[in-house]
Structure 1
Amino acid sequence: MRDPYQVLGVAKTASEAEIKKAFRKLAKASHPDSNQDDPKAQERFAEINAAYEIVGDKEKRGKFDRGEIDAEGKPRFQGGFEDFQGFSSRGPRPGPGAQSFRWTSQGGAGQGAGDDDILSEILSGFSNRAGFGARRGGPRPQAPRTAGEDVQATVAVTLEQLMLGEKVQVELPTGRTLEVSIPAGTRSGKQIRLRGQGWASPDGGPTGDAMVTVEFVPHPLFKVEGDNLRIELPVSLDEAVLGAKVRVPTLGGPVTMTVPAGSNGGRLMRLKGKGLPTALGGHGDLLVALKLMLPDEIDPDFEALMRRWREAGHASVRGPEYGA
């Protein structure tokens, strides 16, 4: 494989953030899903992932920079048996009286007394660097595959979409656009995990996930209070004094509600089951706060009535706690 720095298009002095940024950009542009007409897209994508596996990992990057591993992550031998007298096929043969070594069928060695520790140290050194097991021909341990990185995304959802159970489009940093169903009971700020929709693994491991944060679009009429919705409903003076049947908007369409006679402004009415869908399959309630509204122009007869009401000395509506 080519030099991983060249594959990612970064300098050897690049920071971790610069390397990650370059990888994401190249992976997004070369992803096979986005290049279905290009037969070499899969090969490029695999090369990019393999390069990031080396220089995107602090420990492996250090080993590569020091020449301990190659561009494929395989160990490079830093010396051979030639470094040790008696092992080299080209070195001097042991002379008379020197201790000789012979390999046994178990993969160890037979030798004179006192050399066990030296040979063990040598084999251990090669085992650490080259991945050989303690026994010749024994199974090589398989390194766990690296999982792909998760990605973060945000999706704006209207209250109407949530009420109707409509799917919403989510744009992911990988370049994919998905249609996602928002589960009942989801509230603003909650995250939804989309399995396998993150970055691909650099070495064939599991693909990362997409973590999608739901954000509610502010509504001109309704405020969200948990599973409930709240709305301020303007009512006229005569409706408040005499009572009336009024139309109230809900997310499912307008309904008729009775305003009791003698209702004060701020009175809270409750419409059962007209709130948001819940995780248990039901709905919250709609809380209707009455907002008393006077006409823009005061009728002279109404004004005269209010003057007579004041002159009659009716008790104040404010108690002593308000300084009345």
Structure 2
Amino acid sequence: MTGDPYQVLGVPRTASAEDIKKAYRRIAKTHHPDLNADPEAVARFKAASAAYDLLKDPEQRRRYDAGEIDEQGQEQVRARYSRAHAGGPFGGGPFGGGPFGGGPGASDPDLGDVFADLFGHRGGARGFGGFGFGGRGGGMDRRGEDLRHALEVDFLTAARGGRMDLMMPDGAKISVTIPKGVRDGQQIRLRGKGGPGLGKGAPGDAYLDITVKPHPVFRREGDDIHVVLPITLDEAVLGGRVEAPTIDGPVSLTIPAGATSGRRLRLRGRGINGGDQHVELRIAMPATVDPQLRAFFETWRKDHGYDPRRGMMG
């Protein structure tokens, strides 16, 4: 990432954590490599991911705002040295106290702690551990950063589970297992797919923020599936067997004689993870009312007409 992370995400420095998250997700939905292969879009997505990784952590954000780290999350070494050891290289600078001179009352600087603090490791043996100057070593080993990505999943894949190919910000392609029944807003953790570790440090993890695309036929409530099923006039009057869609394919459904719009039928176990499917019937008129149908209902109404709205007006 280059540049101020707030500007990369398009938010003010006073933005809340939720506003920062929303800004990142907006960019991800239009610039993710799986959705937009344009090189500029990929670069924008990578920059937004890096900016979000820095600002999502309250302590990292505080340190960046305070000027202690840069937009890459690296220590501001010059500022650190100038505050802690003002002066020349031997007169109060990094090596300006204790045995190197510095005047009455000067104390030895804990150089091991200085370097350890700069690289994220405090405590342990004193000295220059990890730099080949003695000590116990390992000062440069650090786990990689956790990364966060947006992933849009189609409705049926989320309901039934499956696999999706995903391009990571570094250009690597991986196959991701989508667990059965994953919900909108849930996360999938990819172990070891985050930022690379430092030295012998393990890589971080990647977290996928799931957005489930709506379906034109199915609607989910909990683990239940809801469907509106159109039926013809004759099916409503006479009843019969029709095919109804489910997330696992069409099934045969019995329409009771005299069915009305709004009546609900239940298909047990046809939802997600043992949930049910609820089928709401809706009578659909033919595209064109032919003369024969019109003549039949004109005759029928004379002898069998009824008022379904009786009592509604008080």
TM-score range, shorter chain: 0.5 to 0.7
Identify the residue that residue 185 of structure 1 maps to in structure 2.
181
Question: Residue type of the partner of 2:231?
Answer: V
SS in 1 for 2:247: coil
Identify the residue that residue 303 of structure 1 maps to in structure 2.
294
Question: Which has more radius of gyration?
Answer: 1
Identify the residue that residue 81 of structure 1 maps to in structure 2.
99
Distance in 1 (alpha carbons) for counterparts of 2:260 and 2:126? 85
The unaligned stretches of length 5 or more in structure 1 are 1-7, 29-51, 70-74, 87-117
- Partner of residue 150 from structure 1, selected from 146, 149, 154: 146
- Partner of residue 240 from structure 2, selected from 240, 244, 247: 244
Identify the residue that residue 224 of structure 1 maps to in structure 2.
220
- How far the C-alpha of 1:289 sits from its partner, in A, is 1.4
Q: How do residues 119-268 of structure 1 correspond to structure 2 at under 5 angstroms?
A: 122-123=107-108, 133=126, 145-162=141-158, 165-268=161-264
Question: Is 1:275 the counterpart of 2:271 in the alignment?
Answer: yes
- Count how many residue pairs are aligned between Structure 1 and Structure 2: 239
Question: Residue type of the partner of 2:165?
Answer: Q
With over 3 angstroms needed to count, the CA separation of the structure-2 counterparts of 1:185 and 1:129, relative to structure 1, is: closer
Query: TM-score, normalising length from structure 2?
Result: 0.60
Identify the residue that residue 59 of structure 2 maps to in structure 1.
none
The unaligned stretches of length 5 or more in structure 2 are 9-42, 51-68, 87-92, 117-124, 128-133
With over 3 angstroms needed to count, the CA separation of the structure-2 counterparts of 1:174 and 1:68, relative to structure 1, is: farther
Identify the residue that residue 3 of structure 1 maps to in structure 2.
none
Identify the residue that residue 98 of structure 1 maps to in structure 2.
none
Distance in 1 (alpha carbons) for counterparts of 2:200 and 2:241? 66
1:73-111 deviation line (CA, Å, top 9, x unaligned): xx931345352579xxxxxxxxxxxxxxxxxxxxxxxxx
Q: Judge conservation of contact 1:152–1:173 (CA < 8 Å) in 2.
A: no
Q: Judge conservation of contact 1:272–1:284 (CA < 8 Å) in 2.
A: yes
Question: Is 1:57 the counterpart of 2:74 in the alignment?
Answer: yes
Distance in 2 (alpha carbons) for counterparts of 1:247 and 1:15? 57
Distance in 2 (alpha carbons) for counterparts of 1:294 and 1:199? 58
Aligned-residue RMSD, C-alpha: 4.2
SS in 2 for 1:122: coil
